[in-house]
């Protein structure tokens, strides 16, 4: 079977270099900034490792063993749907708030493996490294994060034109053992609790940037690899009751610094090819598979937010108001649209060699529309709640003081819940919508797929303009200046 939660926790007590609040973290599984999210990730592996969920969460490999479905290479529509159901079940545990849970980058690597002939055409040795790495990650049930964008710096210049040529991670040396990497990459979401990191560049590059045109995977405790964490929402959450999401699902984001990190050749998939860095995503199913997973996650997350919306109206006793039902109806239609997109990606999928790949344009259409939709949904939730999500007791400690607790009982009234349950619910709602953790997710859902011009560009690139134009041309061909009208 796959690894257990305790096995995962043991695997990340590996001496990795994480820096936060002015110091280095000794043990990510016990540090107050990361221990709860580490336990949450461990819970995901326990869920998948449960023998009762063997058929749901695992598949049989070519060796006769079992592996987590996040690594499955679907050969048919039915395989794809089975895999999606496993991802849905996993995502429901965290409500979609682990944006870079283990199933995301696994989907990317699986998509690259499906496109192995593209790598073989580039370099058979690099293709062999990719194939072997896929099996290694699958068979050891690794949790991967990735860093695929460069530090922002001067956005008017490419990586090679920056004042510091090693601001962006690039090759500083090559020898018989491998390549040596120096510089920084972003954003390593989930990296603090991941086993390994996939490093490459998804941004378009130009001739002259070959130094940065690499693709490889290394353990998070590699010598010279350092993680600079952003502020921890978990550390400031106080209690699970006060911040039920931030306290357990703050996957964190980090800048990775490569201080002359040695990468062995059997971990290098691309070296020095600007063209191949783009091909690894777009000439293989990788980009589709990783973002198809993201849309499955968002589908489940929106179901969670629909539950928040409906519970808000029940708590306030306003569900029957026509204007409230109008808002709920709009929200329900938007959530259903994402569900429909996921199903359409599958139904319109195509066979690519031995594998079944979701429809690209359905995916990119969903990304364009959901980038616009997520902020609107949050605003609708705010509108339904009014001040209910704000005027709450300061912390769980207020309930321990009888005098304060009595005032809470009087002031936190609801027709559908007692004071304790009302406060508990609205603490959850605020954490999802308005807290610093919720605001980070607002930003994340708007930009994880790239800026809006990027997703719209993908939609433009993959739409069947020829078919649309053919319908127009057929209509144009059906009449002309000498065509007589029916009334003539």
Would you list the DSSP string of 109-155?
HHHHHHTHHHHHHH-HHHHHHHHHHHHHHHHTT--EEEEEE---S-T
Among candidates 456, 468, 303, 445, which has minimal Cα distance to 376?
A: 445
Can you give the pLDDT at residue 413? Answer: 86
The pairing of strands 225-229 and 17-20 is: parallel
Q: Please determine, for residue 330, whether its predicted confidence score (pLDDT) is greater than 70.
A: yes
Q: Kind and range of the H or E element at 97?
A: none
* 353 to 116, 133, 205, 285, 358: CA distances (angstroms): 11, 21, 29, 11, 13
Can you give the pLDDT at residue 488? Answer: 56
Global pTM reads: 0.95
The residues, any chain, with a CB within 8 Å of residue 98's CB and separated by 6 or more, are 40, 41, 44, 91, 190, 249, 251
Confidence of residue 452 (pLDDT cuts 50, 70, 90): very high
Q: What SS3 state is found at 354? A: coil
Q: What percent of the chain has pLDDT over 70?
A: 99
For 82-119, the pLDDT digits (tens) are 999 999 999 999 999 999 999 999 999 999 999 999 99
Segment 473-477 shows an average pLDDT of 96
For 275-300, the pLDDT digits (tens) are 999 999 999 999 999 999 999 999 99
Confidence of residue 487 (pLDDT cuts 50, 70, 90): low
Confidence of residue 162 (pLDDT cuts 50, 70, 90): confident
Q: Please determine, for residue 79, whether its predicted confidence score (pLDDT) is greater than 70.
A: yes
* 280 to 108, 118, 341, 486: CA distances (angstroms): 10, 8, 25, 57
Per-position b or e across 134-172, b if 16+ CB within 10 A of its CB: bbebbeebbbbbbbbebbeeeeeebbbebeeebbbbbbb
348 neighbors 68 (Cβ within 8 angstroms): no
Q: Please determine, for residue 242, whether its predicted confidence score (pLDDT) is greater than 60.
A: yes
Q: Which long-range contacts (CB under 8 A, 24 or more apart) does 440-447 make?
A: 440/233, 441/97, 441/99, 442/374, 442/375, 442/378, 444/99, 445/298, 445/370, 445/371, 445/374, 446/371, 446/374, 446/375, 447/371
Q: Please determine, for residue 180, whether its predicted confidence score (pLDDT) is greater than 90.
A: yes
Segment 210-226 shows an average pLDDT of 98
Q: What percent of the chain has pLDDT over 90?
A: 94
Confidence of residue 238 (pLDDT cuts 50, 70, 90): confident
Can you give the pLDDT at residue 323? Answer: 97
Among candidates 437, 17, 38, which has minimal Cα distance to 231?
A: 437
Can you give the pLDDT at residue 163? Answer: 85
Segment 256-272 shows an average pLDDT of 98
């Amino acid at each position: 079977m796959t690894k257990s939660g305790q096995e995962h926790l043991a695997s990340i007590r590996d001496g990795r270099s994480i820096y936060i609040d002015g110091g280095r973290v000794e043990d990510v599984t016990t540090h107050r900034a990361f221990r709860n999210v580490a336990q949450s990730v461990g819970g995901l592996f326990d869920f998948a490792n449960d023998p009762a969920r063997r058929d749901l969460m695992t598949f049989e490999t070519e060796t006769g063993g079992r592996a987590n479905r996040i690594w499955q290479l679907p050969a048919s529509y039915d395989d794809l749907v089975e895999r999606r159901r496993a991802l849905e079940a996993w995502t429901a545990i965290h409500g979609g708030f682990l944006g870079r849970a283990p199933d995301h980058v696994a989907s990317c690597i699986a998509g690259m493996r499906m496109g192995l002939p593209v790598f073989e055409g580039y370099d058979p040795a690099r293709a062999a490294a990719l194939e072997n790495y896929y099996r290694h990650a699958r068979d050891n049930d690794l949790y991967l994060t990735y860093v695929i964008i460069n530090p922002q710096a001067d956005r008017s210049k490419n990586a090679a034109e920056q004042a510091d040529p090693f601001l962006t991670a690039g090759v500083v040396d090559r020898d018989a053992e491998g390549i040596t990497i120096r510089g920084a990459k972003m954003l390593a979401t989930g990296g603090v609790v991941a086993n390994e990191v996939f490093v490459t560049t998804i941004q378009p590059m130009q001739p002259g940037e070959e130094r940065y045109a690499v693709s490889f995977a290394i353990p998070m405790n590699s010598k010279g690899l350092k993680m600079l964490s952003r502020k921890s929402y978990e550390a400031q959450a106080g209690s699970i009751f006060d911040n039920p999401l931030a306290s357990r699902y703050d996957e964190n984001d980090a800048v990775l610094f490569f201080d002359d990190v040695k990468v062995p050749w059997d971990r290098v998939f691309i070296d020095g090819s600007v063209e191949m860095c783009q091909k690894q995503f777009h000439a293989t199913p990788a980009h589709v598979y990783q973002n198809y997973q993201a849309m499955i996650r968002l589908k489940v997350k929106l179901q969670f937010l629909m539950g928040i919306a409906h519970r808000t109206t029940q708590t306030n006793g306003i569900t029957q108001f026509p204007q409230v039902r109008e808002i709920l109806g709009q929200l329900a239609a938007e959530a259903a649209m994402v569900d429909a997109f996921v199903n359409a990606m599958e139904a319109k999928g195509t066979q690519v060699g031995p594998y079944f790949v979701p429809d690209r344009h359905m995916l990119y259409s969903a990304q364009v529309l959901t980038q616009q939709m997520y902020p609107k949904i949050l605003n609708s939730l705010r509108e339904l709640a009014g001040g209910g999500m704000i005027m709450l007791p300061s912390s769980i400690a207020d309930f321990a003081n009888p005098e304060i607790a009595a005032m809470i009982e009087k002031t936190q009234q609801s027709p559908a819940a007692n004071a304790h349950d009302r406060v508990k619910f609205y603490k959850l709602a605020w954490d999802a919508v308005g807290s610093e953790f919720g605001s980070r997710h607002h930003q994340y859902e708007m930009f994880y797929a790239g800026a809006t011009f990027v997703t719209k560009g993908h939609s433009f690139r993959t739409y069947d303009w020829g078919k649309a134009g053919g319908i127009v041309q057929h209509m144009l061909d059906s009449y002309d200046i000498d065509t007589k009208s029916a009334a003539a």
